[in-house]
């Protein structure tokens, strides 16, 4: 693995900290099985939207799309 500092002049401690983060992230990705997704949160779950039954539109539904009741 080659790391090149493009801008700035980091101290050896800063460079070691950045390298530790990169190596830890690479190790975490390497141990994750391919195709394994993390836990889904409720916000991104599509069943949250489809959980309610949406009624079919009636003959005058176009009038209710803009004007408040």
Dihedral pair phi/psi, residue 6, rounded to 5°: -90, -35
- Does the pLDDT at position 67 exceed 60? no
* Residue 54 Cα distances to 44, 51, 57, angstroms: 20, 9, 9
pLDDT-derived band of residue 42, with 50, 70 and 90 as boundaries?
confident
Q: Residue 14: what pLDDT?
A: 93
pLDDT digits (tens, 9 = 90+) for 3-40: 788 999 999 999 999 999 999 998 988 887 776 666 66
Q: What is the DSSP string of 10-64?
A: --HHHHHHHHHHHHHHHHHHHHSPTT---PPPGGG-THHHHTSPPPPP-TTGGGG
């Amino acid at each position: 693995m080659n790391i090149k500092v493009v801008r700035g002049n980091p101290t050896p401690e800063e460079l070691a900290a950045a390298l530790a983060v990169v190596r830890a992230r690479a190790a975490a990705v390497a141990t994750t099985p391919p195709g394994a997704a993390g836990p889904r949160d409720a916000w991104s779950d599509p069943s949250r939207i489809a959980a309610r039954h949406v009624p079919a539109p009636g003959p005058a539904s176009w009038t209710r799309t803009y004007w408040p009741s």
